[in-house]
Amino acid sequence: MTSLDNLPVAVIGAGPVGLAAAAHLIRRGLPVKVYEAGATVAANVRDWGHVRLFSPWEYNTDAEARALLRSHGWQEPPGEAMPTGADLYEAYLNPLAATPEMAAAIETGAKVTAITRRGADKVLSKGRETRAFVLAVSDGNGAIRRDLARAVIDASGTWTAPNPLGAGGILAEGEAEYAGHIAYGIPDVLGRDRAAYEGRTTLVVGAGHSAANVLLDLARLAERNPATSIVWATRGENLMRVYGGGRADQLPARGELGSNLKALVDSGRVTLVAGLSVVRVRAVGGQVVVEGETAQGTREVGPIDRIVAATGQRPDLNLTRELRLDLDSWLESSKALGPLIDPNLHSCGSVPPHGHRELAHPEPGFYTVGIKSYGRAPTFLMLTGYEQVRSVVAAIAGDLAAADDIHLVLPETGVCSTNLPADAATASSGCCGGPAPAEVDACCAADAEAKAEGKSGCGCGPMDMPDRKVSEKIAELACCC
Ligand SMILES: Cc1cc2nc3c(=O)[nH]c(=O)nc-3n(C[C@H](O)[C@H](O)[C@H](O)COP(=O)(O)OP(=O)(O)OC[C@H]3O[C@@H](n4cnc5c(N)ncnc54)[C@H](O)[C@@H]3O)c2cc1C
């Protein structure tokens, strides 16, 4: 059998985090092979290239990648400027991938469709860690080859596995049948997809930053063509997560996105249907009607021309079916990360720094990193991913001192909990990173309530969640203390 030491470390996905992993591997002199499904690197980032990031350049690049780029005369963008996804690709990711060291390691148009261990399915234990990984790699034209690797870093993201419209996480009735009316993610309604939205009625479903971006773009389109109308449906009634922390957010652009959206709703330019769980899509003439359940009973929205499902993404677990993974049972994130990023508890982007130990699985040599490591949780920041791969690569290189020396300071969001008051107007001052709301002597309403009952509150001590084991240490570091 091939000695593992002669094999490369496989990195799946050439997004920001996969490319950073490759830069760290190259710096440590480890052989690396990067597989990218898209025709170019960063295919997912390019898909949402029209969207402006909420974090400025200073938070968007990896230290090792910067060092490599500088050695080839790279001009660093100004730290405080806010790039779009397209800028991130043009000014950072593409030049990084084009450096001779990286270019030699990257293969585009190469989709990894399955991973296993040589001669061992998931059940076989004997000598597992001594067997190479086998990656099935598709070239998109029907040919599949098998490559070997000593370790695998899965940085394949979640962007191409959107959650469905159906509020229960499965396709709504009619969702597949009327797929021609539905776009997932963040369509470019002011650019490449404009013709489909201009002068039409669009329903946006979802309550995250993706929904906010689409709604704001649609409102701009409506300014140019007033026949464009916009309806927004959210499953929850509490919009604090998307309205955000406003000026209390340490990433001002993220705070502004939420404030602008709130202003749009308040002005009546967007019709809000809060508390709607979508169950069905059906046709009416050339349009569609969306049916959902609300606390008051069944409700119909429409007829409408287009639906944008901005309902988040989930990891593709088929890829790793033959590996022994330990996942959080509801987020499908790496298990150790689950309690830190559970959106039932936190909406902060601020999680405790973590590295190879939290990202490892029972499968030796396999790590999930980047936004995929967060599973279905929506709060991932690139900076988190860069520290993840620094630690993971150090561990693969056998440098445990560096791998365990985790250091990361993240900007915090101005909102800490989904349990904030339902009336968004009363909650414009957030908690994490910002002043406590005037009316409570604590960082958020849930925290205040918990403290009043003599318990510790949100993120400030062990949570009162029977199914969750949150260690004291994690709780101390978590969200909004
Ligand atoms: C609209 C939007 C705005 C965001 N703004 C910010 C921000 O301002 N600041 C911030 O810190 N974070 C932001 N994020 C969150 C996050 O940092 C980004 O999503 C980031 O791109 C995640 O990087 P990644 O490398 O983990 O995954 P991705 O960027 O998704 O990259 C994954 C790569 O893997 C490839 N791939 C997928 N499957 C396979 C396969 N089977 N085989 C081979 N290749 C595969 C894909 O083509 C892709 O290139 C934003 C996210 C979105 C969606």
The DSSP code sequence of 243-266 is HTTGGG-SSHHHHHHHHHHHHHHH
Q: What is the DSSP string of 339-355?
A: HHH-TTT---S------
Question: Which residue from 93, 108, 159 has its CB within 8 A of the most atoms of ligand 1, so it is best to mutate?
Answer: 159
pLDDT value, residue 249: 59
CA of 188 relative to ligand 1 center, distance in Å: 17
**Does one domain contain both 197 and 336?**
no
Question: Which residue from 19, 48, 53 has its CB within 8 A of the most atoms of ligand 1, so it is best to mutate?
Answer: 53
Nearest atom of ligand 1 to the alpha carbon of 35:
43
pLDDT value, residue 252: 62
**Does one domain contain both 192 and 131?**
no
**Does one domain contain both 251 and 226?**
yes
Question: Which residue from 371, 374, 383, 410 has its CB within 8 A of the most atoms of ligand 1, so it is best to mutate?
Answer: 371
Is there a contact between 149 and 357 (Cβ–Cβ < 8 Å)? no
Low-confidence ranges of the chain (pLDDT < 70): 1-2, 244-254, 346-350, 409-481
Residue 15 domain-assigned?
Answer: yes
Provide the domain limits for residue 367. 4-160+313-404
pLDDT value, residue 458: 36
Nearest atom of ligand 1 to the alpha carbon of 19:
25
pLDDT value, residue 179: 96
**Does one domain contain both 132 and 17?**
yes
pLDDT value, residue 411: 61
**Does one domain contain both 224 and 276?**
yes
Strands, sheet with 182-184, edge to edge from the N-terminal-most edge strand: 182-184, 306-309, 201-205, 229-234, 271-274
Backbone angles phi, psi at 338, to 5 degrees: -45, -55
**Rounded distance between C-alpha atoms, residue 59 and residue 79, angstroms:** 8
Largest CA distance in the chain: 68
pLDDT value, residue 202: 98
First to last CA, the chain: 52
pLDDT value, residue 352: 75
Residue 332 domain-assigned?
Answer: yes
Nearest atom of ligand 1 to the alpha carbon of 369:
26
> Going by CA atoms, what residue is nearest to atom 30 of ligand 1?
157
**Does one domain contain both 246 and 327?**
no
CA of 93 relative to ligand 1 center, distance in Å: 12
**Rounded distance between C-alpha atoms, residue 479 and residue 432, angstroms:** 7
pLDDT value, residue 190: 97
Strand partners of residue 323:
none
Q: What is the DSSP string of 175-224?
A: TTTTGGGEEES---TTTTTHHHHTTSEEEEE--SHHHHHHHHHHHHHHHH
**Does one domain contain both 146 and 225?**
no
- CA distances (Å), origin 36, targets 154, 171, 359: 11, 28, 21
Nearest atom of ligand 1 to the alpha carbon of 185:
53
pTM more than 0.75: yes
DSSP-derived letter for residue 55 is S
**Does one domain contain both 20 and 80?**
yes
Residue 414 domain-assigned?
Answer: no
Match 């909406």 to its residue by tokens: 347
**How many helical (H) and strand (E) elements, i.e. helices and strands, does the chain have?**
16, 16
Report strand pairing: 366-368 vs 151-154: parallel
Type of residue found at 138: S
List own/partner pairs for 243-247 with CB under 8 A and 24 or more apart.
Answer: 243/424, 243/427, 243/428, 244/413, 244/414, 244/415, 244/430, 245/413, 245/414, 245/415, 245/429, 245/430, 245/431, 245/432, 245/433, 245/434, 246/414, 246/428, 246/429, 246/430, 247/414, 247/434
Question: Which residue from 24, 45, 57 has its CB within 8 A of the most atoms of ligand 1, so it is best to mutate?
Answer: 45
Show which of 377, 404, 431 is a domain's final residue. 404
**Does one domain contain both 209 and 280?**
yes
Residue 425 domain-assigned?
Answer: no
**Does one domain contain both 136 and 208?**
no
Convert the pLDDT of each residue in 163-219 to its tens digit: 999 999 999 999 999 999 999 999 999 999 999 999 999 999 998 889 999 999 999
pLDDT value, residue 450: 38
CA of 187 relative to ligand 1 center, distance in Å: 16
**Rounded distance between C-alpha atoms, residue 378 and residue 374, angstroms:** 7
Residue 105 domain-assigned?
Answer: yes
Is there a contact between 211 and 204 (Cβ–Cβ < 8 Å)? yes
Residue 429 domain-assigned?
Answer: no
The CATH number assigned to the domain holding 42 equals 3.50.50.60
Query: Taking CB atoms and a 6 Å cutoff, what residues make up the pocket around ligand 1?
Result: 12-18, 35-38, 42-45, 48, 51, 53-55, 111-112, 155-157, 159, 186, 210, 319, 370-371, 380-382, 385
pLDDT value, residue 353: 79
DSSP-derived letter for residue 90 is I
Convert the pLDDT of each residue in 381-397 to its tens digit: 999 999 999 999 999 99
Question: Which residue from 36, 44, 147, 388 has its CB within 8 A of the most atoms of ligand 1, so it is best to mutate?
Answer: 44
pLDDT value, residue 366: 97
CA of 447 relative to ligand 1 center, distance in Å: 33
Nearest atom of ligand 1 to the alpha carbon of 372:
26
Percent helix, strand, coil in the chain (nearest 5)?
30, 20, 50
Element (H, E) at 468: none
**Does one domain contain both 131 and 59?**
yes
Show which of 269, 284, 309 is a domain's final residue. 309
What is the number of structural domains in the chain? 2
Convert the pLDDT of each residue in 245-284 to its tens digit: 555 555 666 677 888 899 999 999 999 999 999 999 999 9
pLDDT value, residue 347: 54
Residue 241 domain-assigned?
Answer: yes
Show which of 404, 427, 450 is a domain's final residue. 404
Residue 324 domain-assigned?
Answer: yes
CA of 49 relative to ligand 1 center, distance in Å: 11
> Going by CA atoms, what residue is nearest to atom 37 of ligand 1?
156
CA of 385 relative to ligand 1 center, distance in Å: 10
**Does one domain contain both 277 and 338?**
no
